[in-house]
Amino acid sequence: MKITYLGHAGFLIEDSKAIAIDPFLTGNPLAKHKSKDVIADLILVSHGHGDHIGDTIAIAKQSDGTVVSVNELTIFCSNKGAKSHGMHIGGSHTFEGVKIKLTPAWHGSGYGGECPLEYLGTPCGFVFNLDGKTIYHAGDTGLFGDMELIGRMNKIDLAMIPIGDNFTMGPEDALEAVKMLKPGHVIPMHYNTWPLIKQDPLNFKSEVESKTGSKVLVMAPGESLEF
């Protein structure tokens, strides 16, 4: 499968189906893609913050794709004219062969820049299986002990986890997350988009690879790799 890092927490994963996750392109200072470049069957959105819901509506409409998230967020997307499928944490559903389960994430999910913010439900992460590979995208979250359970119940081939600190786990907590998740590979995300979340991903890579059995793939925004 082809994995493209859209920057920040955004990915496009293409195999028998194309899955976009948290496609934040417009207003992302590091993004190399425009929303018109992204075509996806499924658009997974972890929560309602602008740096995650991002270009979801435009991508869903131009792709005739389906937004998958917690129910409150998918109602919001449906009201904006996007096809969507609401779920909730702990629930799974199979979309034309792609099994997706929503996992917990410790974070917020208000939408908009003015009070009162629009409530878009609880944030989430995703475990999904595409063409035999199990992928975990943690969403925006702090470290939590149930990652051990996620790691025990799923043989994770690839985990995308935040390392930026301030809004999410920083690198030290992300290392603990890797120890619990035991993924084959890790892609760090949610760092360096702004100075507040500046991190050195190569330092994270050497820490993880010296202290766990997982390999770290550091991707530049816009970069693709075969996985």
**Footprint on this chain of Ni ion (rule: CB under 5 A):** 49, 140
Query: To the nearest whole angstrom, how small is the minimum distance from the Cβ of residue 163 to Ni ion?
Result: 14
**Using CB distances below 5 to 8 A depending on partner kind, what does residue 72 bind out of Mn ion, Ni ion, none?**
none
Residue (of 168, 187, 188, 180) closest to 211 by Cα position:
180
Alpha carbon 34 to its chain's center: 18
**Count of residues in contact with Mn ion, rule CB under 5 A:** 2
Q: Which stretch, 33-41, 125-133, 135-143, 148-156, contacts Mn ion (CB under 5 A)? A: 135-143
**Bridge-based pairing state of the strands 158-162 and 185-189:** parallel
Query: To the nearest whole angstrom, how small is the minimum distance from the Cβ of residue 222 to Ni ion?
Result: 22
Instruction: Classify 191 as helix, strand or coil.
Output: coil
Query: To the nearest whole angstrom, how small is the minimum distance from the Cβ of residue 15 to Ni ion?
Result: 27
Q: Give, as ranges, the residues between 38 and 57 that touch Mn ion (CB under 5 A).
A: 51
Question: How is 60-98 classified by DSSP, letter by letter?
Answer: HHHHT-EEEEEHHHHHHHHHTT-EEEEE-TT-EEEETTE
Query: To the nearest whole angstrom, how small is the minimum distance from the Cβ of residue 144 to Ni ion?
Result: 15
Q: Between 140 and 165, whose beta carbon lies closer to Mn ion? A: 140
For residue 116, cis peptide bond before it (omega within 30 degrees of 0): yes
**Shortest Cβ contact with Ni ion: which residue?**
49
